[in-house]
Structure 1
Amino acid sequence: MFYFEDRVGPDFGADAPEYPDWTFPQWLKDAKFGIFVHWGLYSVPAFAETGNAPPPVEDAYRDHKYAEWYGNTVRIPGSSAEAYQRETFGSGTSYEDLADLWTTDSFDAHECVELFRRAGARYVVPTAKHHDGFCLWGTETTGFNSVRRGPGRDLMAEFATATRDAGLKFGAYFSGALDWHVSDLRAINSDPDVFRLRRNDEEFARYAFSQVRELVDRFAPDILWNDIEWPDAGKTAADFGVAALFRQYLAAVPEGIVNDRWGVPSHGYLTREYSDIGSLSDKNWESCRGLGRSFGVNRNETDSDVLTVAEMVRHLVSVVSRNGNLLLNIGLNADGTIPGIYRDRLEGLGAWMEANGEAIYGTRPFAGDAHDHLALTVGPHATYILVMDPVAELPTPPLPTAGGHWLGAGEPGDKFVVPETLRDSPVAVFAIPHTHAPGHPV
């Protein structure tokens, strides 16, 4: 797995650009939970491999488990995606031809975002452009977009309006250095290829810059979530470079923030994809992963491939207690509907958040040793002990529990013993008001 904060080349020495300082915004520090949305041409085939075991390293890209990589996988001879494309759409149909087959008649941005809000999300980050180069807004840079082709709609505009109407923050995902539509490079077959097979020329750097400037000008995203680096020609001090883009973005969105995937020595926070930061961190970070094993929707996924409600809740709690945010991904069906297998999970997560959200939102980690079965957060008015396995034998609490109570128990109780009514909860939460035990946040 890549740690993007380590990729900060090339070194321009004395000619290195000056980057603005980033302040992790208070709204994001308090939000804790957002929804990522992967939706694009790849949602038409909605095809990828599944299974628990990782494929051999030499076959990892041929048998890719990310459905949103279909535009690459379909070009690898002998891949199951190549066979699926031929059998489903005909041997003369290219990946880009799918743009004219993509219809979004059932998409209702307000309905989608309302479910995200009920699930407890405080921000939404849809994909504006993935690696295939297809843009989900009416860009002037290319006709390969959702207004000019298939859907005939500015999908980013609809998402932005619905998200802000719901009182949530809005972000935009953008693929910075991979754009297969305007590249003439062979298919990616390995991890090193991800970075070798990308355009680094000035023309492409200007193209990417112009697209992100459009996103900033039209939607003022609260987060610019870049992926897979940036063309090297755009890492200089040029007026179309990343440093200039960052300055212009902050001028337009003073509380805006960027992630760490730009390939430059400047970022707003760290990302971890289907992986973990390890322990309590003093750095702001975000865990991103799909409900299943893919970001784009995958027709081959079954119930066993998707996180349970309990697994989602425990992952969220684990991340938040270690100073992170969770960006949980939903892949939409091609028609714009949310798969039922995801909808049920989100409703379940929302029910837990409704009862226990005060132990998540606006909290900070508890500075202290880790404890088996327990996670701790500190809010404005209480310290919370989150019991990760409510049926397990509880360890000795790490702080006095007198005066505390169990959230959502339905009856008062100040003993540090999980009530029967919470035994089937994914995580049981014990709140200790600060009048009894002041917290020790990081």
Structure 2
Amino acid sequence: MNFETRIGPDLGADAPDYPPMAVPEWYRDAKLGFFVHWGLYSLPAWAPPHPPGGVPVEDAYAHHQYAEWYANTVRIEGSPTWRRHQELYGPGRTYEDLADEWDVTGFDADAFVGDLVSAGARYVVPTTKHHDGFCLWDSATTTFTAPRRGPGRDLIAELHDATRRRDTRFGVYFSGALDWHASDFPPIESDTDLFRFRRADEWFSRYAAAQLEELIDRFRPDLLWNDIEWPDGGKGGDEFAVAALFRRYLEAVPDGAVNDRWGVPRHGFLTREYTHVPDILGHPWESTRGLGYSFGFNQAEGNEHSLSGTALVRLLVDVVSKNGNLLLNVGPRADGSLPDLQRAAMRELGAWLQRDGDAIYGTRPWVRAGEPIGVPRAYTRTATTVNAIVLDPAPGVVELPADLSGELRPWSDGTSAVVRSRPDGTREVELPERLRAEPAVAVRIDTVNS
């Protein structure tokens, strides 16, 4: 099931009036954002590592690969997470008991955000509250928060301030209809349970709305990223309902971006999670995934589970060529430090964007995303240029189709390209030796002076 596209109850004549939800140009230009899944789940930091669909469907929740789902998986008796929790913490210690042990003494938000910006981030989206209900900001709605428990700090305020200081867009992730702290449902063990064991009553709808209002009022986020729908009790015409929240948000942040995971018949950009999109989508969309198979830090993951820098660059190029943004997730350790495995891939991505970022940022799709045969490549365009981004430079040559007839611009270091024309109108471009070991290389074709 595509959870992000599920629509809630038909309200008929009582359907609320939603405001227009255009996708702002800043978002379409940004191309690369960083998700930050950091929370109470970062203490146990464990899940059975496997790719999506890597276990039988009936075992998917008991063997959930997302470490940020620890609070649910640990309650499934006999699950690998349940067994490990008993061994490490004993049967008397619950997940929520860990809140007082979370120590972030050495966390430096400026250094952390600096690493994301150096890797190419144009927007940053931390998890303000995941499904476990633990709030990382100083909320008046609950004491189950980072400022009032172990960390003793408003982590969202710190990340927000550091992001703004880097002149970078700031967004918030919020778990709308799932909050295991404020619910007494049994654990979720199937996709059916996912939508059955959720609060839909008016009290919880008001509770969720009050929390989101706090985030909007305090941080004026450039982006609202909701997950697993909104409570059904908050989908009507009330002032605490999501339609009214949208109106107030867009009044406060007129160029705000909103995703599609609200379960209502109005949305901004589309989201696709750990999903390959085969071709250009007509509506702006966002691909999201972790560097490994989990969003939250999973200490059980190694090199074999994680994207290399080369794979990461090629993923970004593929997504952008199809009218998408990449919201790449990092999962810090409990102390807020980034694991070396993640940092290495981020450094490679940042270095590549320093050279060929003009073929990514501010671009739009060309008439097609790539070619079915020949050297793998992907296309992007600006008002004056088409970029043919070669995804495997090792062969040293790429063929440009006849409908890309413009003059080639110099390479990123200013040197001229070597081109051989063919009778059929195609051209063969020789890639410089120094670029053939790179993860990708952009060939820039001038479309104004052609």
> TM-score normalised by the shorter chain: which range applies?
over 0.9
Match of 2:234 in 1: 234
- CA RMSD in angstroms, aligned pairs only: 1.4
8 Å Cα contact 1:406-1:428 kept in structure 2 = no
Match of 1:440 in 2: none
CA shift in 2, pair 1:399/1:192, >3 Å: same
**Equivalent-residue separation in structure 1 for 2:405 and 2:308 (angstroms):** 30
3-state DSSP of counterpart to 1:120: coil
Matched, 1:377 2:390: no
Match of 2:423 in 1: none
8 Å Cα contact 1:362-1:380 kept in structure 2 = no
**Equivalent-residue separation in structure 1 for 2:43 and 2:269 (angstroms):** 33
Match of 1:31 in 2: 30
Offset at 1:92?
Answer: 1.0
Report the residue type matching 2:10 in the other structure: D
Match of 2:422 in 1: none
Match of 1:12 in 2: 11
8 Å Cα contact 1:107-1:335 kept in structure 2 = yes
3-state DSSP of counterpart to 2:99: helix
Taking every aligned residue pair, what percent have the same amino acid on both sides? 52
3-state DSSP of counterpart to 1:271: strand
1:56-71 equivalences in 2 (<5 Å): 56-71=56-71
3-state DSSP of counterpart to 1:149: coil
Match of 2:417 in 1: 413
Match of 2:89 in 1: 89
**Equivalent-residue separation in structure 2 for 1:277 and 1:381 (angstroms):** 27
1:334-349 equivalences in 2 (<5 Å): 334-349=334-349
Match of 2:49 in 1: 50
Report the residue type matching 1:376 in the other structure: Y
Offset at 1:303?
Answer: 1.1
Offset at 1:277?
Answer: 3.1
5+ residue gaps, structure 2, are 420-428
1:75-224 equivalences in 2 (<5 Å): 75-224=75-224
Matched, 1:422 2:435: yes
Match of 1:399 in 2: 403
Report the residue type matching 1:233 in the other structure: G
**Equivalent-residue separation in structure 1 for 2:394 and 2:409 (angstroms):** 18
CA shift in 2, pair 1:259/1:173, >3 Å: same
Report the residue type matching 2:95 in the other structure: Y
So what's the TM-score if we normalise by structure 1?
0.96
Q: How many residues align?
A: 436
Report the residue type matching 1:357 in the other structure: G
**Equivalent-residue separation in structure 1 for 2:285 and 2:9 (angstroms):** 24
5+ residue gaps, structure 1, are 438-442
3-state DSSP of counterpart to 1:182: coil
Q: Deviations over 1:41-71 (max 9, x none)?
A: 1000000011357111111111110000000
CA shift in 2, pair 1:400/1:2, >3 Å: closer
8 Å Cα contact 2:369-2:380 kept in structure 1 = no
Offset at 1:396?
Answer: 4.2
Offset at 1:403?
Answer: 2.7
Offset at 1:406?
Answer: 5.5
Report the residue type matching 2:377 in the other structure: L
**Equivalent-residue separation in structure 2 for 1:106 and 1:65 (angstroms):** 28
3-state DSSP of counterpart to 2:164: helix
CA shift in 2, pair 1:32/1:199, >3 Å: same
Q: Which moved more, 1:399-408 or 1:172-181?
A: 399-408
Offset at 1:87?
Answer: 1.5
